[in-house]
Amino acid sequence: MLGNTFGRMFRITTVGESYGIGEGSGLSVIVDGVPPGLKLSDDLIQEELDKRRPGVGKLNSPRKETDKCHIFAGMGQDGVTTGAPVGIIIYNVDTQKIHVDQYRQYKDLCRPGHATYGFYKKYGEAQDWCGAGRASGRETVGRVAGGAIAKQILALEGIELIAFTVQCMDIIAKEMTFEEALENYRKNEINCPDMETAEKMEKRVLEIKDEGETAGGVIELRIKGVPAGLGEPVFDKLSALLGHALLSIGAVKGIEFGAGFKVANMKGSENNDEFADKNGRIGFKTNNSGGLLGGISTGDEIVMRLAIKPTPTVSVRQDSVNMQTMQIEELNPITRRDPTLLGRIYAVAEAMAAITIVDALMMARGYDNVCRTENRWREI
């Protein structure tokens, strides 16, 4: 299997499956490019992992994983990074035989909406049928651990980012500024800062859950404090890098920046962000571009929205195919699942965005230092 590493100068490599084999199975991430002297601890990483941990509340999977992490490499005796790759491990603790046997009952059936069919095409019978293997959302635990380190680097740069729910099915939250969203960040299970709308969303998800179904929605991601000039103008646009990072999350089915798909109904003058004097510095009257022009950061807030599909495992009978007999069979799986992914996936979006911005920062500053380019416009 290829493609388990993301990034160029700041890189993560993840390993591990949803279940693995027996005692001691788990997931791990190796983070390369971590600067020396950074204060890290298991507790600091744990704060981020707890955002996506299952088994908490009524809106996510009942799987009781503690997601306890341990930094096993890259740290010196004084509790700071040495400049070596940082290794973090998270063990699986709720992989009971009863759940493995449930998956075994229909291991030859392709579950609608899952990666099983593509995995059969690519890996044959050796594909991991237990809990979807590396196609499971559990794979993202390593990303969040790596993203926790990236967030610490961004904090030193004065860069903040948050992701939160703005839509669940047809229920849409009011528009909010970064500060308004931050005020009510993570104050409810579905992580919608519009508290009144959040109640309606949660009620709707539980209604859908009672039907044996699952719910989709939209996550908004905002990044504040990104300096202008990150990203390259052609293939490595910052928007393209963020798109790569966020679309690599299995449940993300669409992405838009700034005004997004609304631009299809705009005139050029309506879409263009006119310039303005912002306390003696160049700024913009609007942010339809989402903080990116020509694929390069403008210094304005980066704004993205992600379309999140409903969890594909449902308690509704659907037609499948038995890959041994090549016959259509009816499938009604009995396995654990999230009634919606919205209350946990935002942590993964934050992690991948943080990793991307740190990598872009390192690339940009490395280029500038080698070129020694004089740029009198850099600080305006």
Residue pLDDT, tens place only, 239-264: 999 999 999 999 999 999 999 999 99
Long-range contacts of 361-369 (CB under 8 A, 24+ apart): 361/153, 361/157, 361/227, 361/230, 362/8, 362/9, 362/10, 362/33, 363/8, 363/9, 364/229, 364/230, 366/9
Q: Name the average pLDDT for the chain.
A: 91
* Weakest-pLDDT range from 123-132, 153-162, 196-205, 359-368: 123-132
Residue 333 has pLDDT above 80, yes or no: no
Q: What per-residue confidence (pLDDT) applies to 120?
A: 86
Buried b (16+ CB within 10 A) or exposed e, 140-179: bbbbbbbbbbbbbbbeeeebbbbbbbbbbbebebeebebe
Percent of the chain with pLDDT over 70: 96
Residue 171 has pLDDT above 80, yes or no: yes
Domain-wise residue ranges, the chain: 5-371
Q: What per-residue confidence (pLDDT) applies to 113?
A: 87
C-alpha distances (whole Å) from 228 to each of 131, 191, 285, 350, 364 are: 42, 29, 16, 20, 10
Q: What per-residue confidence (pLDDT) applies to 293?
A: 96
Q: What per-residue confidence (pLDDT) applies to 55?
A: 63
pTM of the model: 0.93
What is 5-371's CATH number, 3.90.1310.10, 3.90.1640.10, 3.40.190.10, 3.60.150.10?
Answer: 3.60.150.10
* Local confidence band at 345 (pLDDT 50, 70, 90 cut-offs): very high
38-52: average pLDDT: 95
Q: What per-residue confidence (pLDDT) applies to 54?
A: 73
Residue 336 has pLDDT above 70, yes or no: no
18-40: average pLDDT: 88
* Local confidence band at 285 (pLDDT 50, 70, 90 cut-offs): very high
Residue 89 has pLDDT above 90, yes or no: yes
324-345: average pLDDT: 86
Q: What per-residue confidence (pLDDT) applies to 379?
A: 67
Q: pLDDT for 179-225, tens place per residue?
A: 999 999 999 999 999 999 999 999 999 999 999 999 999 999 999 99
126-151: average pLDDT: 88
Residue 39 has pLDDT above 70, yes or no: yes
Strand ranges inside 211-367, DSSP E: 217-224, 252-257, 275-278, 281-284, 292-293, 296-297, 302-308, 318-322, 327-331
Q: What per-residue confidence (pLDDT) applies to 52?
A: 87
Q: Which tokens hold the place of 59?
A: 């809106």
Residue 95 has pLDDT above 80, yes or no: no
* Weakest-pLDDT range from 3-12, 133-142, 259-268: 133-142
Percent of the chain with pLDDT over 90: 68
* Weakest-pLDDT range from 76-90, 110-124, 290-304: 110-124
Residue 130 has pLDDT above 90, yes or no: no
